[in-house]
A and B are shown apart, each in its own frame.
Chain A
Amino acid sequence: MVSVHRPSRGYRVFQGINGVLLTLVVVLTLYPFLNIVARSFSGEHQIRAGQVTLWPKGFNLTTYKVVFHDSMFWRNYGNTVLYTVVSTVIAMFLTTCYAYVLSKKHLRGRTALVGVAVFTMFFTGGLIPNYVLVTHLGLKNSVWAIALPNAISVFNLLVMKAFFESLPTELEEAAQIDGLSTYGTLLKVVLPLSKAVVATMALFYSVSFWNSWFSAFLYMDRAELMPVTVYLRNIILGATGGSNAGAAQAQLTQVGANIQAVTIVLTALPILCVYPFVQRYFVSGVMLGAVKG
């Protein structure tokens, strides 16, 4: 009993080392981000001279003003919000419906439906066939080109299916006896009990849509349709892509290091703000699906 209240010396040493190591990890993870924040408030030549670490040098807000006045940045930012919201809503709707169906063990053809989903995890049509398909369906240059092809992530689907399977069947039986239809059971009984997994999946989807750039890059033909990630990628990679030597490359370095930093901060900010609030569902959400019985 003593050991419960007073941990052994070895254990305390272990905890001490643990604490130090984990603090180091936190510092290592935070440093790059703090550095970017510091850069975003610093002067261009202080950054170039490598003087900025954790604290801004040559503090100024002009870069923020410049970026705030760039209409293309805000336009693309708006696109990102739109694409993320639309895609997440569609993805959540489809994934929930699909997962709920798959969790019903008595359903005939269930294995085939799982098979269809899992098949796409291992085999894809490839870049060009996908492009041809999306183009011929007339989805190009619209939000549907981004939302529809990525609507169901099989990983998320399987996690959700496992979660639904872990709900006691008695609950649903009781609901049916009380006269709820299938949809009623899903909406009024199952979903309210599944807030954890729904929040987790919504977070997964929205983060991945927020950060994605490739499908937009592929299917959008005009700059004003691009999400902010493509804008960001262009000013960062454009400035460091060294292979096309010559005058063109030299001009590019003009997109200042401080402008890059400001854009990164502004792009990462919303996700950073949302994260802490959803995170409490996060652990239980994923774990509940995984650990059964």
Chain B
Amino acid sequence: MKNTGDLSRRQILAAAGFVGLATLAGCGGSGDDGSDGKDLSKKRTGAMKTFGAGERFTATRPLSFSLLHNDNPVYPMKKSWLFWKEVTKRTRVTLKPVDVPLADYEKKRSVLIGSGDAPLLIPKTYHPSEVAFVSSGAILPVSEYVHLMPNYRAKVKKWQLEPELDSIRQADGKYYLLPGLHEKAKSGYSLSLRTDVLDRLGLSLPTTWDEVHDVLKAIKAEYPDKYPWTDRWSTNTPFPCGALFGYLGQAYGVKAGWSYDNISFDTKSGKFVFTATQDAYRAMVEFLRQIVAEKLLDPESFTQQDDQAVQKLLAEKSYAISANPQELVQNYRYNLNKQVKGAQIEMIPVPLGPAGPVVLGGARLENGVMISSKALRTDSFVALMQFVDWLWYSDEGQTLSKWGVEGVTYTKSGNRFELKPGISLMGSDPKAPKDLQKDYGFSDGVFSYGGSWALVSSSFGPDERKFQNAMAQRKQLPIDPAHPLRSDEQERATLWDTPLKDHAIQNTLKFVLGKRPMSQWGDYVSELRAKNMQRLVDLHNAAYERFKKEHG
């Protein structure tokens, strides 16, 4: 009893510190529920009374919005860009960019959001990275406010994107990211082959995976001591050969490589299943295993750096490699021309497999914009949403972001866009003194993505046009139905997800490289089961059933 009265200075200090901390924590926890005020009538400063799809947004008084800008080293941001001026001229809105180097964009974004210092507009966010911020209340559940965005709604309706949007909803049924919208799925990657070598051997370009196999065998017969195919995109990704597995998996109708996800929806049984144990997945593994066993694919593909793979191609140690249209033109073909006389290389439409002419679903959503919750507390909130709608989702805004100003940076005849002479885009005219991205700020990845097929395809080079047109004929597989997890479920899922994913990927490689016999496939499945595979699947199925019941 005697002691209670006299606390030492240290104890008092400690106690004071504790109280201070608790108060701070309390502040963080509450106080974000100001968003309850659905009454937007007082937040219409600068907003247009009526704003419809296809109309230009012009603020009724000058406004400025802060924006997180991802600074690409290829076209470092300049204040003098025509883009900023033209946006202000048309909308009376001044964008105030906060410049973040691309290499560490995600890191700075987390710090800014975490410290409450984030700009109002946070673009270049890839789903599902917005999920991490949902529970903090720092970002706006934008789905509640899309009624302010006529262009966005019109495009969602016209291109029937509702199921895709459902896939990014959280457990509360809302989504927190305004994604980029595509009319048609754009395919990125496929196999490229040295066509001059094929011609010399009397081979034609393969269209199916069996033909790919035959072509590789024929090249191998000619050059027995070389691997006909070497591959890349194995570093900085949990799934080596991310591109190759991606498009090979697509031919088998499964998610693999960069598209890999532990959970896939099985339309036949109407349930979620584990991806890396599906029969089609096993068939894919067996196919690639055979290719490797016959020494047609360089086993170093799964570990080497991109540069090493390209060096093998340029040194004629290999004749096939994964590509995307830009790499094909600007790297492989450009360097091959300097290196090897008469070399020609082409990218083929993704070869067909057992799944037929399909592309995986979900590719019609792009990275998008998060909006800080602070925006709702400003009195120009409505104008902000109308502005976002105009710049990112209207035809006029998208054309401006991509091509610039008609008559200044481009001319248009019919549906064809043509850059003004003296302006280059991604090396289209190496002698041009100006560059659309570097000097004008258009085709900036922060503002320009998605849109109608006419607009997206307007900048394709001849190779990409051929490739994309072939791919656009294919049927899109249905996307996984919405099954958002609650936050406690999310925690458990995260705990199980990574070990399962690691084990699945490691063993996929072991099977492919022949380090594990296919007869052990059953063992592999039971190992996954020991790592809570079934519980993860059940968790997702339960969430699916719940979402179906609650949100129809």
Contact = CB atoms under 8 A, between A and B. Distances in A.
Q: How big is chain A's contact interface, by range?
A: 35 or more
Interface string B208-239: 00000000000000000000000001011100
Nearest to A236: B103
Interface in A205-244: 217-218, 221-223, 226, 230-231, 233-244
Interface residues on B, range: 35 or more
A217 B315 CA distance: 40
B314 A252 contact: no
Interface of A: 45, 48-50, 72, 127-128, 131-132, 135, 217-218, 221-223, 226, 230-231, 233-248, 250-255, 257
Interface of B: 71-74, 76-77, 98-99, 101-104, 108, 111, 114-117, 126, 188-189, 233, 235-237, 242-243, 258, 306-308, 310-311, 314-315, 324-327, 330-331, 334-335, 338-339, 426-427, 445
A241 B103 contact: yes
B73 A238 contact: yes
B111 A250 contact: no
Contacts of B117: 131-132, 135
A242 B98 contact: no
A247 B325 CA distance: 9
A260 to B, nearest CB: 10
B354 to A, nearest CB: 25
21 contacts: A48-B335, A50-B308, A50-B314, A127-B114, A131-B115, A132-B115, A221-B99, A223-B99, A231-B73, A231-B101, A237-B103, A237-B104, A238-B102, A240-B235, A241-B236, A245-B242, A246-B324, A247-B324, A248-B445, A251-B72, A254-B74
Which of B76, B308, B325 has the largest number of chain A CB atoms within 10 A? B76
A212 B306 CA distance: 28
Contacts of A252: 72-74, 102
Nearest to A132: B115
Contacts of A250: 324-327, 330
B104 A49 contact: no
Contacts of A247: 188, 324, 326, 445
Nearest to A237: B103
Nearest to B111: A131
B101 A230 contact: yes
A233 B188 contact: no
A225 to B, nearest CB: 9
Contacts of B331: 48, 253
Contacts of B73: 231, 234-235, 238-239, 252, 255
Contacts of B314: 45, 48-50
Nearest to A246: B188
